[in-house]
Amino acid sequence: MLEAVSALSRLASRLALMASAAGLAAMTLIVGWQVFARYMLNAAPPWTEQAALLLMLWFILFAAAAGVRESFHIRLSLLEDLVPAPVRRGVRVLAHLVVLVFGAVMAVSGAELALATWSHVIPTLGLPRGVAYMPLSGAGGLIAFFALEHILADIVGREVKPLWS
């Protein structure tokens, strides 16, 4: 079962990182156009700032979710280092369980927030405000899933191999 979860997890992480990279590139182009239009054409388009902020929400949250799987997120290992070796696995599982719960709450709350604000419109983009909150739900689900993979791997005594290994 761990192999199937790991394969799906690696794919989800790769897609999240690719989408984040594409979002960062698109945001860079939009901000570049905004600067050019403001200073060279003396007419900045009104949609650029909101579009860049919207893209930033999406790519940061999905990159953060991938960071949970790839273990490049901020992690304090002081407690894990202080406990005896036989207890370390339990401490790691508990830490991943906390991350899983956080991701699940983020997914549910993000979905509720997106639904509650769907009827509001981002004026310069003409998009529902809920679009800005959708990545909270998606990234939260991914965070929970990636934490589950780490829990399963710790239980069987294996490590989650990062994409670049």
DSSP codes, 48-72: HHHHHHHHHHHHHHHHHHHHHHHT-
pLDDT averaged over every residue in the chain: 93
Task: Examine the pLDDT at 63 and tell me if it is beyond 80.
Answer: yes
Please compute the mean of the pLDDT values over residues 49-57 and round it to a whole number: 94
Full domain range(s) for residue 132: 2-156
Task: Examine the pLDDT at 30 and tell me if it is beyond 80.
Answer: yes
Q: Give Cα separations from 108 to 16, 17, 137, 140 (angstroms).
A: 19, 22, 6, 8
Number of domains in the chain: 1
Residue 49 maps to a domain: yes
Residue 161 maps to a domain: no
137 closest CA partner among 101, 95, 97, 109: 109
pLDDT in tens, 15-24: 999 999 999 9
Residue 87 maps to a domain: yes
Band (85; pLDDT cuts 50, 70, 90): confident
Distance (Å, rounded) from C-alpha 117 to C-alpha 63?
24
Residue 162 maps to a domain: no
Kindly state the tokens that stand for 27: 């945001």
Residue 91 maps to a domain: yes
**Beta strands 127-128 and 121-122, pairing class:** antiparallel
Contacts (Cβ under 8 Å, ≥6 apart) of 148: 5, 96, 100
Residue 164 maps to a domain: no
pLDDT of residue 80: 79
Residue 150 maps to a domain: yes
pLDDT in tens, 105-142: 999 999 999 999 999 999 999 999 999 999 999 999 99
Distance (Å, rounded) from C-alpha 122 to C-alpha 62?
22
Task: Examine the pLDDT at 73 and tell me if it is beyond 80.
Answer: no
